[in-house]
Structure 1
Amino acid sequence: MPVYKAPLRDVKFLLNEVFDYPGHYASLPSGENATPDIVDAILSECAKFSEQVLSPLYQSGDEEGCTLTDGEVKTPAGYKDAYDQYVMGGWQGLSAPEHYGGQGLPASMGLLKQEMMGTANWPFSMYPGLSMGAMNTIYLHGSEDQKETYLHPMTEGRWAGTMCLTEPQCGTDLGQVKTKAEPQADGSYQITGTKIFISSGDHDLTENIIHIVLARLPDAPKGTRGISLFIVPKFLPAEDGQVGERNGVVCGSLEKKMGIKASATCVMNFDGAKGFLIGPENQGLECMFTFMNTARIGTAIQGVGPAELSYQWALDYARERRSMRAVSGKKEPDQVADSLIHHADVRRMLLTQKAIAEGGRAMLYDAARLADHMVEAHTAGDPEKADQYDDKLGFLTPILKGFLTELGNEAANLGVQVFGGHGYICEHGMEQIVRDTRIATLYEGTTGIQALDLLGRKVLLMTQGGAVRDYTLRIANFARKLLTDKKMRPYGLELLKLTGQWNWLTVRLMLIARKDRDMVSAAANDFLMYSGYVSMAYMWARMAAVANQKLKHGGEESESFYKSKLATAEFYYERLLPRAQAHATSMLSPSRTLMSLDSDDMAFTG
């Protein structure tokens, strides 16, 4: 069975050499204990847990899946023991406030942990991952009593959390939510309705599950302005803080799905369940965005993770599997055939996976610094500063989620292709990566929803192009520094050209959209993908600049590592970045090419 190996050298390269995380942590109140030695120790232990505990359960969990008996979900063999080890290691509280039993480390440490664990076993990592979003929502919007009641056991990992948004009649369009919340004399609410697609909705890993639920009050306005947010525990907390009586919420069924079969995706029935309002009435969607943005950044990891995992396994296979001779002549004359690694097209696929995994990881780590600052501002009671960082992160979130998950799917499919027919056979694990990764472009908002959020909301409506101007200014300031170095000058010139084009495209779309409202939707996906390719180009230029400097000074033990970075950066700019121009052309195509046919004209007539 293939195994996962944590890419610690690449992780440390980004943390210590590209983004100066030691200096970043030193500037944060929560970073006092995040010294280089402590961070290294945490990364090492996380790698060990991911490799030795989680990775071996990846395929077996898929084969067994979850089971439902009398409303109770049982996870695959080994999951409960692995989760107990996870709790004993203190992993759930890594970035949680010390007041609630956490270790108080910067929020980005949680992302580093989640990337390794998610790459080793994404279905498992979803259970504690959903809890993190619930904890953040309660921490930011809950009352002091709610925080004291729920955050302590959730930080310990004894209790888990979910997000309950989607219903049978609505997916992303939450204005159609019908779940009811009836006020009770004791200040609680009676929650009645059905939620679907609820990840980790029920399981046997924890003693309690805390559902964060969207529902409507009796006099609520229609649409999204009439949605409130509620805490609905599976078991009501007792006065001593332990688990009390069973609440009226139960798993009605498990979804039969394409992948992530070891992750319980549930239909949850709320039958007069006792709930507690969190945040102001009718402002539930605003509060839920805390949860959703956390989940979207987490989901972006599922673009990087499968690219990394599929690349590792495909690379090993390409080194060992022999087939035909290289076009340029025999590379291994003593063997019956040359290894796949010697064929240029196989290298194209492997380098594409490598560029996506390492470029995507850099995009995540860059954004994680913003998340640290945002959390610190919230903790310090500085909402204005928190909003500034939230806006910066909000611009990047749909790019991270939409672009990286699309490329993660591409990388996973390339892994199957490297294996050829063997990639289609379950025992090698490659087809499971494809099945598990496919959901990433769907949940927490499809790629189309992310694209509309980016172009329609973040760029055109909220900032009138200001978000693009601010981000491209950051890229341009970096690019100009590259012009004095002969080797790096081509990267700098290309980035400067792209920043100008990105702004020009934004203005063009703004002008066209004034007369053609369909243009926003028609151009959104291409705009998102273009933004992603340019953002990743910026990251690869940053990595190449560091590698170039290291090689100039010489004497490095990791000379081959830095040469690999430069070669992969060159590959990205020559082979993948040109895709951005196709998206640039396509996004300016008139919307009539999509909208001219009536729905009847599109019907099948065979």
Structure 2
Amino acid sequence: MPVYKAPLRDMKFLLNEVFDYPAHYASLPSGENATPDIVDAILAECAKFSEQVLSPLYQSGDEEGCTLADGEVKTPSGYKEAYDQYVMGGWQGLSAPEEFGGHGLPASMGLLKQEMMGTANWPFSMYPGLSMGAMNTIYLHGSDEQKQTYLHPMTEGRWAGTMCLTEPQCGTDLGQVKTKAEPQADGSYKVTGTKIFISSGDHDLTENIVHIVLARLPEAPKGTRGISLFIVPKFLPNPDGGKGERNGVVCGSLEKKMGINASATCVLNFDDATGYLIGPENEGLECMFTFMNTARIGTAIQGVGPAELSYQWALAYARERRSMRSVSGKKDPDQVADRLIHHADVRRMLLTQKAIAEGGRAMLYDAARLADHMVEAHANGEPEKADQYDDKLGFLTPILKGFLTELGNEAANLGVQVFGGHGYIREHGMEQIVRDTRIATLYEGTTGIQALDLLGRKVLLMTQGGAVRNFTYRVANFARRQLTDKRLRPFGVELLKLTGQWNLLTVRLMLAARKDREMVSCAAHDFLMYSGYVTMAYMWARMAAVAQQKLRDGGEDSEAFYRSKLATAEFYYERLLPRAQAHASSMLSPSRNLMQTPAEELAFDI
């Protein structure tokens, strides 16, 4: 079985050399203890836990899956012991506020942790990952009493959390939510309804599970304006903070899925379950967006993680497997055939995986700095400042989630292709990465929903193109500074062209939408993918600029590392970035080529 190796060298390159996280952390009150030595120690321990504890459970957990008996879910062998080690290590509270038992480190430290653990074993990492979103929601919108009751045990990892949105009749369209919440004399509510596709909805890892549930109050307005948010624990809390009597929420069944079999995806039945309102009445969706945005950024890791894991395993295979001779002549003349690594098409696939994994990681780390500032502003009671960072992060979030998960799927499939027929066989693990990754483009809003959020809401409706102008201004300023260096000039020139084109495309779509309302929906996917390719190009140019400077300075032990960075940047610009132009052309095509055929004529009798 292949093993996962945490890419610490690449992570530290981004943290210390590209984005200067030491200076970033020094500017944050929460970064006081995030010194370079402490960060390195945390990364090393997290890598050790991911490589030695989580990675060995990845394939066995998939084979065994979760089981349901008498309304209780059992996770695969080894998961409970691994989770206990996770709790003992204090990992759940890494970025949580100290007042609730956390370590109080910057939010981005949690992302670094999640990347390594998620790459090693995504199904396992979903259990504590969902809890983080629930904790953030309670922290930002809960009452003082709710914070005191739930955040301490959740920060310790003794209690877990979920988000309960989807119902049998509705997924993305939450205006159709039917779950009811009836007010009680004691201020609580009785919640009744069925929720489906609930990740980590039930399990045996923690003593309690805190469900964050969307439901409707009596006489609430129709649609999304009539949805409220509730805390519904599996076990009602005791006054002393322990778990009390069983609440009226039960796992009715486990979903039979394509992948992530070790992650319990549940149908939850709420039958007069006791719940507590969190946030204002009928503003549950606004509060839930805290959870959803946290989850969407977390899901973006499931684009980077599978690309990294599939690349590691495919690279190891390509270095050992022999097949045919290189078209340019024998590379291993003493052997019966040359290794796969010598064949150009295999190189194409491996470099595509590498460019996606490392470019996507850079996109995540760049956005994580904004998340740190946003969380800090909230904690300091600076709502206007928090909103400013939230707007910047909000523009990037659908790009991160939509674009990176689509490319993560591509990278996972390329890994199977490198293995050939062996990639289709379970024992090698490559097909599992494909199965596990496929869900990432679906949950927390499909790629199409992310695209509509980006173009329709963030770009056109909310900012009239301002979000693109602001981001491209930053990119263009960087690009101009690269024009004086012969090796970097092609990157700078191309970026300047793309920033102009991105703004022009935005204006053209804005004008077209005034005449044709379908244009936004028809162009959204191409606009998102174009935005993703340009954003990743910016990241690769930044990495190339640092690598070039390091090579120019000389005296580095990692010369090969920096040469590889420059070579991969050139590969990305010459082989992958041209895809953006296809998306640019497609997004401007008229909506009639999608909408002119009547719905009934799309079906044909066989």
For the aligned pair, the TM-score class normalised by the smaller chain equals over 0.9
**Which letter maps to 2:539?**
M
Deviations 1:151-205 (A, max 9, x none): 0000000000000000000000000000000000000000000000000000000
Deviations 1:578-606 (A, max 9, x none): 00000000000000000000011111233
Deviations 1:515-560 (A, max 9, x none): 1010000000000000000000000000000000000011110000
Q: Which runs of structure 2 are paired with 1:177-326 in the superposition (5 Å)?
A: 177-326=177-326
Deviations 1:225-264 (A, max 9, x none): 0000000000000010000000000000000000000000
Deviations 1:88-118 (A, max 9, x none): 0000000000000000000000000000000
In structure 1, the residue matched to 2:421 is 421
**Which letter maps to 2:562?**
Y
Q: Which runs of structure 2 are paired with 1:2-401 in the superposition (5 Å)?
A: 2-401=2-401
Deviation for aligned residue 1:509: 0.1
Deviation for aligned residue 1:219: 1.3
1:481 has 2:488 as partner:
no
What's the secondary structure of 2:494's corresponding residue?
A: helix
In structure 1, the residue matched to 2:444 is 444
What's the secondary structure of 2:6's corresponding residue?
A: coil
Task: Provide the C-alpha distance between the structure 2 equivalents of 1:342 and 1:306, rounded to a whole number of angstroms.
Answer: 24
In structure 2, the residue matched to 1:468 is 468
What's the secondary structure of 2:508's corresponding residue?
A: helix
In structure 2, the residue matched to 1:543 is 543
**Which letter maps to 2:33?**
N
Task: Provide the C-alpha distance between the structure 2 equivalents of 1:487 and 1:425, rounded to a whole number of angstroms.
Answer: 43
What's the secondary structure of 2:256's corresponding residue?
A: coil
Task: Provide the C-alpha distance between the structure 2 equivalents of 1:265 and 1:145, rounded to a whole number of angstroms.
Answer: 30
TM-score (norm 1): 1.00
**Which letter maps to 1:591?**
S
In structure 1, the residue matched to 2:402 is 402
Deviations 1:209-229 (A, max 9, x none): 000000000010000000000
What's the secondary structure of 1:95's corresponding residue?
A: coil
**Which letter maps to 2:314?**
A
Task: Provide the C-alpha distance between the structure 2 equivalents of 1:386 and 1:473, rounded to a whole number of angstroms.
Answer: 21
What's the secondary structure of 2:599's corresponding residue?
A: coil
In structure 2, the residue matched to 1:580 is 580
Unpaired segments of 5 or more residues in structure 2?
Answer: none
What's the secondary structure of 1:601's corresponding residue?
A: helix
Task: Provide the C-alpha distance between the structure 2 equivalents of 1:105 and 1:555, rounded to a whole number of angstroms.
Answer: 34
Deviation for aligned residue 1:442: 0.1
Task: Provide the C-alpha distance between the structure 2 equivalents of 1:515 and 1:285, rounded to a whole number of angstroms.
Answer: 31
In structure 1, the residue matched to 2:562 is 562
Aligned residues: 606
Unpaired segments of 5 or more residues in structure 1?
Answer: none
Task: Provide the C-alpha distance between the structure 1 equivalents of 2:194 and 2:441, rounded to a whole number of angstroms.
Answer: 24
Task: Provide the C-alpha distance between the structure 1 equivalents of 2:183 and 2:28, rounded to a whole number of angstroms.
Answer: 42
What's the secondary structure of 1:44's corresponding residue?
A: helix
Deviation for aligned residue 1:455: 0.2
What percentage of residue pairs aligned between the two structures are identical? 89
Please tell me the root mean square deviation across aligned C-alpha atoms, in Å: 0.3
In structure 2, the residue matched to 1:459 is 459
What's the secondary structure of 1:483's corresponding residue?
A: coil
Task: Provide the C-alpha distance between the structure 2 equivalents of 1:44 and 1:400, rounded to a whole number of angstroms.
Answer: 26
**Which letter maps to 1:150?**
Y
Task: Provide the C-alpha distance between the structure 2 equivalents of 1:177 and 1:592, rounded to a whole number of angstroms.
Answer: 33
Deviations 1:14-67 (A, max 9, x none): 000000000000000000000000000000000000000000000000000000
Deviation for aligned residue 1:486: 1.3
Deviations 1:64-84 (A, max 9, x none): 000000000000000000000
Task: Provide the C-alpha distance between the structure 1 equivalents of 2:256 and 2:224, rounded to a whole number of angstroms.
Answer: 30
What's the secondary structure of 2:335's corresponding residue?
A: coil
**Which letter maps to 1:472?**
T
Deviations 1:103-158 (A, max 9, x none): 00000000000000000000000000000000000000000000000000000000
Task: Provide the C-alpha distance between the structure 1 equivalents of 2:227 and 2:474, rounded to a whole number of angstroms.
Answer: 38
**Which letter maps to 1:471?**
F
**Which letter maps to 1:54?**
L
**Which letter maps to 1:577?**
L
Task: Provide the C-alpha distance between the structure 1 equivalents of 2:593 and 2:113, rounded to a whole number of angstroms.
Answer: 45
Task: Provide the C-alpha distance between the structure 2 equivalents of 1:245 and 1:568, rounded to a whole number of angstroms.
Answer: 57
Deviation for aligned residue 1:469: 0.3
What's the secondary structure of 2:33's corresponding residue?
A: coil
**Which letter maps to 1:87?**
V
Task: Provide the C-alpha distance between the structure 1 equivalents of 2:192 and 2:415, rounded to a whole number of angstroms.
Answer: 45
What's the secondary structure of 2:422's corresponding residue?
A: helix
Deviation for aligned residue 1:272: 0.2
What's the secondary structure of 1:251's corresponding residue?
A: strand
Deviations 1:452-487 (A, max 9, x none): 000000000000000000000000010011011111
What's the secondary structure of 2:600's corresponding residue?
A: coil
**Which letter maps to 1:467?**
A
What's the secondary structure of 1:296's corresponding residue?
A: helix
Task: Provide the C-alpha distance between the structure 2 equivalents of 1:568 and 1:153, rounded to a whole number of angstroms.
Answer: 45
TM-score (norm 2): 1.00
Task: Provide the C-alpha distance between the structure 2 equivalents of 1:478 and 1:132, rounded to a whole number of angstroms.
Answer: 35
Task: Provide the C-alpha distance between the structure 1 equivalents of 2:557 and 2:600, rounded to a whole number of angstroms.
Answer: 66
In structure 1, the residue matched to 2:412 is 412
